[in-house]
Amino acid sequence: MSVSEEIPGAREARAICATRSNDPSMLLEILHDLQVRVGHIPGESVPILADCLNLSKAEVYGVVSFYHDFRTEPGAPITVRICQAEACRSMGAEALTERLLSRYGVSLSEISAAGVTFEPVYCLGNCALAPAAMVDGALIGRADGAAVDAAIAEAGR
């Protein structure tokens, strides 16, 4: 095993780049693939991605740090995103967020004892069914505490 293969995400980063023909225009897709496979974008993988795609480390890091969906640290087993955009705020998203944070005893982006993290998001594209939430990729319209709790329980199975 080479030294670079011991770096977290190195082998996966190289393999994903190869499946995308080391095409720099596929950087976003490669980052999504890496996050799905590894759970986050390890900082150590940035120079490897840059090398494979013939980009600068700054270009790769700039994309990773610009988009909120990319995590550079491992996340909680269950992620709850609650829309904080205007339509959802007008339908009670702030109160829903505060109730959930209080119930789980955390603040935004902290990991609860139950392995749940709550993150703000600024539009889930579900304004007609505000407030909207997403639990591990499953969209919830007209979200309330009971619906979010049920989705968290389902995601934890």
Amino acid making up residue 138: A
The dihedral sign for the CA sequence 51, 56, 59, 61? positive
Per residue in 17-66, pLDDT tens?
999 999 999 999 999 999 988 888 999 999 999 999 999 999 999 999 99
Total-model pTM: 0.71
Per residue in 106-155, pLDDT tens?
999 889 998 999 999 999 999 999 999 999 889 999 999 999 999 999 99
User: From the annotation, which residues make up the binding site for [2Fe-2S] cluster?
Assistant: 83, 88, 123, 127
User: From the annotation, which residues make up the binding site?
Assistant: 83, 88, 123, 127
Is the bond preceding residue 8 a cis peptide, omega within 30 degrees? Answer: no
Q: Is the pLDDT of residue 15 over 90?
A: yes
